[in-house]
Structure 1
Amino acid sequence: MTITTTEATAPARPRTRPRRTGRPAGGQGLRTVGLYAVAVLVGLGVWQLVAMKYGPSLVASPKETLSAARELAADGTLGNSVIASSRRILIGWGLGVLVGAPVGLLIGQITIVRQLLEPYIEFFRFIPPVAFVTLAVVWLGIGETSKVVLIFYTAVFIVTLNTSAGVMAVNESKLRAAASLGASRRQVLQRVVLPSTVPYILTGARLAMGNSFLTIVSAEIVAAQVGLGSLIWTSRNYGRIDWVFVGIITLGILGLVYDRILRVIAMRVLHKYGAKV
């Protein structure tokens, strides 16, 4: 007689779907846009309440400011002011980045260069550009050069200091490892120092951009016929508080746009380095 047996099999486990650890990208983006919209609406509401309390002679309401912006845009004043200020900022800031980054690399890598330049950098960076406005006009005239030089002065020290800090923050073990593998000084700079310093350079560039907006207003108030700073000062002389608000808000919007563009560029450049800006 033969006995047949059946092998016991373990009960099959029910299939479970993997949990989603994050929210959908589209939903997160909508949530961010919604929060921004709420913040803007709250700000407009507070602005309206303050304008109602103090009156149009002191605070222009959002409606009055919008009407003034349309008025200035219609005759070309606003557009010309934005173009003039943007051109001066971008040229001066760009020159500051182009000069400040290489100088910062030299200061961070070569001790004798750091010792020679550090006293001047530490001295001049504490003198605000506003203090040089009169001298810039006397030496360089009321043309574009004086304003571009002031913005360059604003940007170059910030980029230089951030770049040199990035160079000196490079891990010493990385430098020794590259040297032990036979890398030349130039290869160490290209493959170790520069990739580690790029985040510092971009951060310095963003900070320099913000300070450039601070400088352009004072420079244009003193020596410019066209520009957002000139628009604000001229509006004050005419008693047009609404025009003043237009100039101030335009500066803020312009700075926000430029900073967002820099952030997008920085994120793309730094993606391969695993850094965030």
Structure 2
Amino acid sequence: MTLIHPGQVVQPAAVNVTSRSRRALRNLGSFVPHLIGFATLFLAWHVASTYLVRSVLFPAPLVVFSKAMKLAADGSLFENIFASLRRIAIGFFAGSAIGIPVGLAIGSFPLVRKLLEPWTEFLRFIPSVAMITIAVIWFGIGEESKIFLIIYTTIFIVILNTAAGVSAIAPNKIRAAQVLGASRWQIFAYVGLPATVPFILTGMRLAMANSFTTIVAAEMISANEGLGVMLWNGRMYMLVDEIFVSLVCLGLLGFGADRLFRWGIFRFARRFSPAA
């Protein structure tokens, strides 16, 4: 048996560790601009609220942070955040689960496109806020009406982007699969669907932003908890610092969700780009 010098074994591992360390440093460095941007935003907010406006209607960041700590200490802040995120998650994923197959069908079959595209184009121009009354009439003032509004604001964006992704598939990929003897199902599963994933994620990313916008209006329908309730109560009782806490929470949660989708889009677009 041939003995290998220890140096020959350790060297590749050391190279791997070094490459992983460099990759980790690059990933960490990508967050630095975000941190600088947030710091600049809060600094401008502090200067404006302390030296320019000086009004109880425009509290400083430290005042809002102090209020957030009090709400977090008694648990009400986390209860409201979790309530809003639960409604967003249920409605968003339900709307996406409906929108993705419908979008794939519209993009793949001309007859389905002719039948469903007019409905999609008609309904997507009716804002979700205008559907609040219909939601209450159909589902009452419980959780169902709020989730319905999130589904409504999600589904059409996902449908349109998914259909656009199917239409953007490079024809040479389909021809190559046909030449290799792939069936229609294999072309869909191994060519069409992977190439459509970046478009699906882009549609879901846009729909997620709309979900955060809609949840505020949805939770004003006789809800007991949620960030929209915090905004409404702050307006009713002039709790301006509480209003700002809810606004900051909505912004930070939305930013985190958007970064997650951007990462997914980048990862899949690099691997399954329809133009590749």
Q: TM-score range by the shorter chain?
A: 0.7 to 0.9
Amino acid at match of 1:35: P
Looking at structure 1, the residues matched to 178 and 190 of structure 2 have their Cα atoms a distance apart, in angstroms, of 12
**Per-residue deviation at 1:132?**
0.4
**Per-residue deviation at 1:31?**
4.2
Matched residues, number = 253
The answer to whether the aligner puts 1:180 opposite 2:179 as a matched pair is: yes
**Per-residue deviation at 1:264?**
3.8
* Residue equivalent to 1:165: 164
Write the deviation string for residues 187-218 of structure 1: whole angstroms up to 9, x where unpaired: 11112111111110111111111110011011
Amino acid at match of 1:135: I
**Per-residue deviation at 1:258?**
1.9
* Residue equivalent to 1:11: none
Looking at structure 2, the residues matched to 269 and 38 of structure 1 have their Cα atoms a distance apart, in angstroms, of 28
Looking at structure 2, the residues matched to 274 and 122 of structure 1 have their Cα atoms a distance apart, in angstroms, of 27
Looking at structure 2, the residues matched to 264 and 37 of structure 1 have their Cα atoms a distance apart, in angstroms, of 18
State which drifts further: 172-181 or 136-145. 172-181
* Residue equivalent to 1:40: 38
Write the deviation string for residues 145-164 of structure 1: whole angstroms up to 9, x where unpaired: 11111101111111110010
**Structure 2: runs of 5+ lacking an equivalent:** 1-21
Return the TM-score normalized by structure 2: 0.85
Write the deviation string for residues 126-156 of structure 1: whole angstroms up to 9, x where unpaired: 1110000121012101111111111011111
Q: Which has the higher helix share?
A: 2
**Per-residue deviation at 1:27?**
5.2
Looking at structure 2, the residues matched to 35 and 92 of structure 1 have their Cα atoms a distance apart, in angstroms, of 32
Aligned-pair Cα RMSD in Å: 2.0
* Residue equivalent to 2:211: 212
The answer to whether the aligner puts 1:85 opposite 2:72 as a matched pair is: no
* Residue equivalent to 1:199: 198
Q: Which secondary structure does the structure 1 equivalent of 2:219 belong to?
A: helix
**Per-residue deviation at 1:29?**
4.5
Is the contact made by 2:195 and 2:273 (CA closer than 8 Å) also made in structure 1? no
* Residue equivalent to 1:60: 59
Identity fraction in percent: 46
**Per-residue deviation at 1:91?**
0.6
Looking at structure 2, the residues matched to 36 and 207 of structure 1 have their Cα atoms a distance apart, in angstroms, of 20
Looking at structure 1, the residues matched to 244 and 42 of structure 2 have their Cα atoms a distance apart, in angstroms, of 13
Looking at structure 1, the residues matched to 196 and 114 of structure 2 have their Cα atoms a distance apart, in angstroms, of 20
Amino acid at match of 2:155: V
Is the contact made by 2:201 and 2:264 (CA closer than 8 Å) also made in structure 1? no
Q: Which secondary structure does the structure 2 equivalent of 1:221 belong to?
A: coil
Amino acid at match of 2:46: Q
Looking at structure 2, the residues matched to 70 and 228 of structure 1 have their Cα atoms a distance apart, in angstroms, of 16
Q: 1:99 to 1:68 in 2, by over 3 A?
A: same
Return the TM-score normalized by structure 1: 0.85
Write the deviation string for residues 29-74 of structure 1: whole angstroms up to 9, x where unpaired: 4544443333222211210122122234221101110111112112
The answer to whether the aligner puts 1:258 opposite 2:257 as a matched pair is: yes
Amino acid at match of 1:208: A
Q: 1:72 to 1:215 in 2, by over 3 A?
A: same
* Residue equivalent to 1:155: 154
Q: 1:216 to 1:148 in 2, by over 3 A?
A: same
Write the deviation string for residues 95-150 of structure 1: whole angstroms up to 9, x where unpaired: 11111111111001111100000110000011110000121012101111111111
Looking at structure 2, the residues matched to 110 and 135 of structure 1 have their Cα atoms a distance apart, in angstroms, of 32
**Per-residue deviation at 1:266?**
4.3
The answer to whether the aligner puts 1:132 opposite 2:122 as a matched pair is: no
Is the contact made by 2:84 and 2:215 (CA closer than 8 Å) also made in structure 1? yes
The answer to whether the aligner puts 1:106 opposite 2:105 as a matched pair is: yes
Q: 1:117 to 1:29 in 2, by over 3 A?
A: closer
Amino acid at match of 1:42: T
Is the contact made by 1:93 and 1:152 (CA closer than 8 Å) also made in structure 2? yes
**Per-residue deviation at 1:77?**
1.6
Looking at structure 2, the residues matched to 90 and 59 of structure 1 have their Cα atoms a distance apart, in angstroms, of 32
